[in-house]
Structure 1
Amino acid sequence: MNLNIHGKQMDIGDSLRGHITNKLEDINEKYFNRAIEANVTLAPEGSAFTKTHISIRIGKDIMVMSDAIEPDHYASFDSACEKVAKQMRRYKKRLRDHHERLDGLGDKDFLPARDLVISTSENKPIEELEEQDHTDPLVVAEMTTKIQTMSVSEAVMRLDLSGENALMFRNANHNGLNMVHKRADGNIGWIDPEGNQKTDTLKVVSG
């Protein structure tokens, strides 16, 4: 596992670096042993706290992320690390099944797509906003991505692990495009357009 440890506006000493390395290697060995890369960033939060962000890439396509804010560096990392471990305990068997299924997928199971980053309207003069209403939004970045075929339960797992707010996927039951997203009430929303046969337009999956 390639491990990158960064400190923003703070020094990561040898003791803390060793602590981070040992704990993440233990988690990798205990739960999946397939982590390719892990990134840990610690930064001051306010005047008396430290924020830790952890991202781990497992296998080809799974990202696990967690954040924590605590009064000191060690407590902040340990809290974020425990969140990662908790997610691994929850999804250990399903992750193993996912990797076995992924090994059997071909190109037909991935839909090529464009991933666009659109500029927001914050801090723009009202005159520019009025002009923009009649034109396409400003694209500030464009990347290529692949929409994977999977079950709804697998999509919910990936959404939970990634820390993102939404995930688009191709439903393995009917090959139509679906989306799962985090709702304000704590549940997971599942959007399945009516053209995708046999399923309801909107369902709610317990989070």
Structure 2
Amino acid sequence: MNLTISGHHLEVTPALREYVLTKLDRVTRHFDQVVDVTVLLTVEKQKEKERRQRAEVTLHAKGKDIFVESAHEDLYAAIDQLMDKLDRQVVRHKDRLQDHHHESPKRSAMVGEAS
């Protein structure tokens, strides 16, 4: 998995990098077919204090690209919200990839007896 963490109007400190890595572990635990992850941390120059800190993730997985963004007044809280959203989307994508249209063992045994 390729991982890129970059900052816009912000220096990515080792503490921020480590925090993003620990949060991404949860996502990669659910779905191991992740090819590339790009994280962009941004501080916007807005007048209002709230929602200035933004975090964005573009995740390239096998079969789909997932983009998630989150904004909060605290960058760590924005990363938390971002990873929650990303986790939900990755789990949904994984469920869609799995084939849920199989016959139950009970039904296939009944068909075998009837012939």
Q: TM tier, shorter chain?
A: 0.7 to 0.9
SS of aligned partner of 2:76: helix
Separation of aligned partners in 2, 1:96 and 1:22: 27
Counterpart in the other structure of 2:29:
29
Checking the alignment, whether the CA contact within 8 Å between 1:8 and 1:43 is kept in structure 2 is: yes
Match of 1:70 among 69, 72, 91: 72
Say which structure is richer in strand: 1
Counterpart in the other structure of 1:51:
54
Counterpart in the other structure of 2:19:
19
Pairs within 5 Å for 1:99-110: none
How high is the sequence identity, in percent, across the aligned residues?
25
Summarize deviations over 1:58-109 as a string: whole Å, max 9, x none.
Answer: 02x4101101110111111111111111112333221345xxxxxxxxxxxx
SS of aligned partner of 1:79: helix
Instruction: Output the aligned Cα RMSD.
Output: 1.5
Gaps of 5+ in 1: 98-207
Counterpart in the other structure of 1:80:
82
Letter in 1 for 2:43: P
- The alignment's TM-score, normalised by the length of structure 1, stands at 0.43
Separation of aligned partners in 2, 1:78 and 1:72: 10
Letter in 1 for 2:94: K
Checking the alignment, whether the CA contact within 8 Å between 1:51 and 1:68 is kept in structure 2 is: yes
Letter in 2 for 1:40: V
Counterpart in the other structure of 2:108:
none
Q: Which runs of 4+ in 1 moved over 4 A?
A: none
Gaps of 5+ in 2: 100-115
Counterpart in the other structure of 1:39:
38
Equivalent pairs, count:
95
SS of aligned partner of 2:83: helix
Which structure exhibits the higher relative contact order, with contacts defined as CA atoms closer than 8 Å and separated by 6 or more residues?
A: 2
SS of aligned partner of 2:15: helix
Letter in 2 for 1:42: L
